[in-house]
Amino acid sequence: MAHKLFDLSEKVVIVTGGASGIGRVYCEALASCGAKPVIADQNEFLAQQLASDLNARGQSALGLGCDVSNPDSVINMVSAVIKHFGSVHGLVNNAALMSTLPRGPWYEIEQSDWDRVMEVNLRSLFLCSRAVYPHMKKMGGGRIINISSNRIWDGTPNRLHYTTSKAGVVGFTRALSREVGDDNITVNAITPGFTASERQIEFSNPAYVVKMQELNSRKALKRTQIPEDLVGVLLFLLSDASSYITGQTINVDGGAMMH
Ligand SMILES: NC(=O)c1ccc[n+]([C@@H]2O[C@H](COP(=O)([O-])OP(=O)(O)OC[C@H]3O[C@@H](n4cnc5c(N)ncnc54)[C@H](O)[C@@H]3O)[C@@H](O)[C@H]2O)c1
């Protein structure tokens, strides 16, 4: 039996972008530990389908359609969570524009694409955190986890808007952690390496996937990263075991980058 510090049972955790990819794996893991995941995704159909699959297994989940870049949509999502579950313990800011973005030179990025990436990948953190804040404060604390990328340590080129937005996630994490510490809310970030989520593979051309396999040989742990590699650190950051850790960024990439 797990130590009580790691007990997440009955904890309500919103996972944005939880309907597919890595977010889906987070939701399944949370449900299996007795937590109550809220799958908040622009794909309402997939969000509700995952929630009904989890509920059919005797777990407790809620699927909601939400565009995390839209203030009204975010407020409605959090209101629905409070109405359904009565509280919110954790927010995982996971939704992002990434796998569908073309890789290419920085000067070919359209301004409208730059702005949309900032809206979805960065403004959403502000909107979602602001919406859950009064509820976490009322409950006496909470956990906010922001998903960045190990690209920020490397300065990986060819998706300049994406890499820039993910560097912003770390600044947001650090500054917000200082503003909400007195409310017993911790704010941390995770920087995953290239992870073989279904859409990431689908949208990467075969040559790129081969290149990534070559990059595996430069890691301390020489294999392809999978979504399950990120689950342990996520559960840890949501649990009481991490209650004195805040403002930090934890790199999970098999030792590709040393941070
Ligand atoms: N897969 C990787 O290699 C990798 C590496 C580093 C960091 N990350 C980060 O991990 C997170 C998840 O990555 P993934 O590979 O699962 O991505 P993905 O593209 O497979 O899934 C993203 C999810 O977010 C949802 N989404 C997109 N825009 C949204 C919006 N405006 N509102 C609500 N939901 C929205 C999508 O519907 C989808 O379910 C992202 O933040 C990504 O930047 C991924």
How do residues 167-204 score in pLDDT, each as one tens digit? 999 999 999 999 999 999 999 999 999 998 877 777 77
Instruction: Give the nearest ligand 1 atom to 199 CA.
Output: 20
Query: Which residues on adjacent β-strands are paired with residue 145?
Result: 92, 188
- Enter the tokens of residue 11: 């904890």
Q: Would the pLDDT of 117 be above 90?
A: yes
Q: What is the mean pLDDT of the chain?
A: 95
Average pLDDT over residues 29-55: 98
Q: Would the pLDDT of 254 be above 90?
A: yes
Q: Would the pLDDT of 78 be above 80?
A: yes
Residue 100: predicted pLDDT: 87
127 confidence band (pLDDT: 50, 70, 90): very high
Picking from 174, 143, 148, the residue whose alpha carbon sits closest to that of residue 251 is 148
Q: How many residues does the chain have?
A: 259
| Residue percentage of the chain with pLDDT more than 90 | 89
CA distance 28 to 22: 10
Report the nearest-CA residue for atom 38 of ligand 1.
Answer: 17
Residue 213: predicted pLDDT: 79
Residue 150 CB: number of other CB atoms within 10 A? 23
CA distance 188 to 239: 12
DSSP β-ladder status, 249-252 and 185-192: parallel
Please tell us whether the domain made up of 4-195+226-252 is placed in CATH 3.60.20.10. Answer: no
CA distance 176 to 178: 5
Q: Would the pLDDT of 155 be above 90?
A: yes
**Mutation choice for ligand 1 from 39, 50, 94, CB with most ligand atoms inside 8 A:** 94
Residue 205: predicted pLDDT: 74
Domain positions in the chain are 4-195+226-252
CA distance 120 to 169: 12
244 has catalytic annotation: no
212 confidence band (pLDDT: 50, 70, 90): confident
**Ligand 1 proximity of 63 Cβ (cutoff 6 Å):** no
Whether the Cβ atoms of residue 246 and residue 186 lie closer than 8 Å to each other: yes
**Ligand 1 proximity of 94 Cβ (cutoff 6 Å):** yes
Instruction: Give the nearest ligand 1 atom to 69 CA.
Output: 31
Average pLDDT over residues 117-129: 98
Q: Would the pLDDT of 210 be above 80?
A: no
Q: Would the pLDDT of 209 be above 80?
A: no
- 31, containing H or E segment: helix 21-32
Average pLDDT over residues 43-68: 98
CA distance 249 to 148: 9
**Ligand 1 proximity of 191 Cβ (cutoff 6 Å):** no
Residue 79 CA, distance from chain mean position: 20
